Amino acid sequence: MSFLVRKPDTRGTGIHGVSADVHSGPVLIYSCDMNKLAEACERIAATTKKLEKTGIVAEYLKSRTIAEAAVSAVFLSGRAFPAWEETTLQVGGRSLWRVVAELAGKDEGELTASYRRHGDLGAVAAEVLPEQADSGLGVAEVFERFREIAGARGPAAKTALVRDLLARTTPLEAKYVVKIMTGDLRIGLKESLVEEAIARAFGVTAIEVQRANMLLGDIGATLRLAAEGRLAEARMRMFHPLGFMLASPVESAEEGLSYFAEAEVEDKYDGIRAQAHVSGGEVKLFSRTRDEITESFPELPDALAGLAQDAILDGEIVAWEVNDAEPEMSEKKAVNLGRARPFSVLQQRLGRKKVSQRMLREIPVAYLVFDILYAGGEFLMDRPLSERAKILDELLAAGRKITHHRDTESQRKTGKTGTQGKLAFGDEEEIVTAHIIRAPTFRAASPEQMEELFVAAQARGNEGLMIKDLNSPYTPGKRGKAWLKMKRELATLDVVVTAVEYGHGKRIGVLSDYTFAVWDRDRLVNIGKAYSGLTDAEITEMTAWFLEHTIEDQGFRRVVEPKIVLEVAFNNMMLSDRHESGYALRFPRIVRLRPDKSADEADTIQRVREIYEGQTE
């Protein structure tokens, strides 16, 4: 599936993945420190106390050269490459599994038994690989090997490089090399803790480190700046995607008004989140997983290039339907009214490299912009939403072509309009396609008003509401209570597929029954099983993916790499010992795939508990 396979990237800028503007020339020092990193990871895993974890990381980072510490910081945040890069290794769990089996001289059964004990391929590698003397591997060299693997074409070439690397490592080093390759260290170390450790190691504040890391999207480069006392020099880098601000669910209108005094309310559109970077006429769009998606939406860059200033925008791309029942014909003959179409319609446009003219005509998209992070050289994320909203309004109004909205002011304020907003600017000639739209904003001061807005949003075909604190800054990558979401299904969960089974009847040859899990700290615990709900085409695609990403083949059932996120709805929740989580769902059904979410963004057991406790029946 295209969204799961990121393209290899050649933009890497040197051995440490540190961008040219913050790093003065590559420093290539190989030392035998992969072993030291692995030992530090063991100690980090052995404690649950955050302060101890950051202490161990800080001490380790200080004991290394800056170059080694920079690469280690990337690895310690569970990544093979800095966050901003799109590079991935593209080595499936199955290939890694085979390499480990081969190097260990073990058969499938022995490896499976070990996997059952550990539930983690890195730990399996540590157990089964032969002991060997000091490998002499340094973290910088491991990083270089990762670059080679990412750049190699085809599974055979990649597997050969992985084999070469793992043949050299000691079992303990292999444990962490494999964990980094699978993107999950499982030592209870979030990137935020690595940030805190950098702050401790170099005597700066965690906030300074976080800010620089957010701007650079590169914890290694951030470490360098911290070590050199230059954190303040970190600058916003256009065309490097930033983290997205996330929302917490609320179950009622009352709850939606309970966290802050002044709420801005917007429709919750059912499309895909996109961050637009616009600079000097060049435009790139990034998805929530920080993949570039510009090519899938060729109509948007042209429209965005007309912005009066360089900017970074946040919004939702939706399939757009022009409302031509009552076309508005201004002097400029622009028709700008319409509504978002269901996500299933937009889905046909996703993951395409080439978009046909027919697609462009039949499924036009619009970019509903609701936030601005940067404009005209100024970093805006620290400003309150009320100010950002004003700047966004002005910037879009200053765009080339402005058409006016026909709803009255009072209709607009109360949200009682059939339309979704005005076309901020687009191409006059293309009268039916509204490209860039300022997402309309409303106010609600009472639960009744909120309910009215919710009903109106649903009547327009949207999912529900977003309720945002007008005084809040933009906090990338954080799910706080400054943004709230009120959805149609009062309770849905985003879950990770952990095992799959062949279906019955017409689904006999395809993997259509999915067991799924939520997070309990670092562990995924199963909570339910659902029979499809996806379209036949999706099931076919998923079947191919699961076959390729099987960790353990149990015949009728396959344990798969925990990467696929689904949104599941259910009628209610029960306590049950059927699943590891201790809960079970009644009538679970798959609402849709969530290709825009990575596994670590799935819901947690706390959220399950909240839903369970909030149930009325």
Show which residues are catalytic.
268
Residue closer to ligand AMP (CB basis): 268 or 284: 268
Binding of ligand AMP at residue 439 (CB under 6 A)? yes
- Which token pair is 315? 């919004």
User: How far, CA to CA in Å, does 138 sit from each of 16, 183, 579?
Assistant: 12, 19, 42
Among 85, 218, 266, 513, interactor with ligand AMP by CB under 6 A: 266
- Which residues, 6 or more positions from 532, have their beta carbon under 8 angstroms from its beta carbon? 503, 507, 512, 513, 514, 539, 590
Shortest Å, Cβ 487 to ligand AMP = 6
Binding of ligand AMP at residue 269 (CB under 6 A)? yes
CA within 13 Å, CB half, 97 = 23
Residue closer to ligand AMP (CB basis): 315 or 528: 315
What residues from 134 to 193 belong to the interface with ligand AMP (CB under 6 A)? none
Interface characters, 451-470, with ligand AMP (x: CB under 6 A): ---------------x----
Residue closer to ligand AMP (CB basis): 221 or 457: 457
Residue closer to ligand AMP (CB basis): 413 or 485: 485
Residue by residue, what is the 3-state secondary structure of 439-452? CCCEECCCHHHHHH
Q: Hey, is 500 helix, strand or coil?
A: strand
Binding of ligand AMP at residue 291 (CB under 6 A)? no
Total Cβ atoms within 10 A of residue 537: 10
First to last CA, the chain: 40
Number of residues in contact with ligand AMP, rule: CB under 6 A? 10
Total Cβ atoms within 10 A of residue 251: 16
Shortest Å, Cβ 474 to ligand AMP = 11
Shortest Å, Cβ 44 to ligand AMP = 30
What residues from 38 to 57 belong to the interface with ligand AMP (CB under 6 A)? none
Residue closer to ligand AMP (CB basis): 237 or 273: 273
> Which range touches ligand AMP (CB under 6 A), out of 96-104, 160-168, 217-225, 261-269?
261-269
Closest CB to ligand AMP: residue number: 273
What residues from 310 to 339 belong to the interface with ligand AMP (CB under 6 A)? 316
> Which range touches ligand AMP (CB under 6 A), out of 262-270, 417-425, 529-537, 557-565?
262-270
User: How far, CA to CA in Å, does 417 sit from each of 71, 121, 446, 456, 562?
Assistant: 53, 54, 20, 8, 43
What residues from 231 to 260 belong to the interface with ligand AMP (CB under 6 A)? 247
Binding of ligand AMP at residue 268 (CB under 6 A)? yes
Q: State the alpha helices, DSSP H only, in 63-154.
A: 66-76, 93-104, 108-118, 121-128, 139-151
Measured distance CA(4)–CA(12) in Å, rounded: 20
Shortest Å, Cβ 286 to ligand AMP = 13
What is the DSSP track for 44-79? Answer: HHH---HHHHHHHHHHHHHTS-HHHHHHHHHHHTT-
Q: At what angle do helices 191-202 and 219-227 cross, to 10 degrees?
A: 10
Q: Which amino acid is at 267?
A: D
What residues from 344 to 373 belong to the interface with ligand AMP (CB under 6 A)? 370
Chain residues in the site for ligand AMP (CB under 6 A): 247, 266, 268-269, 273, 316, 370, 439, 466, 485
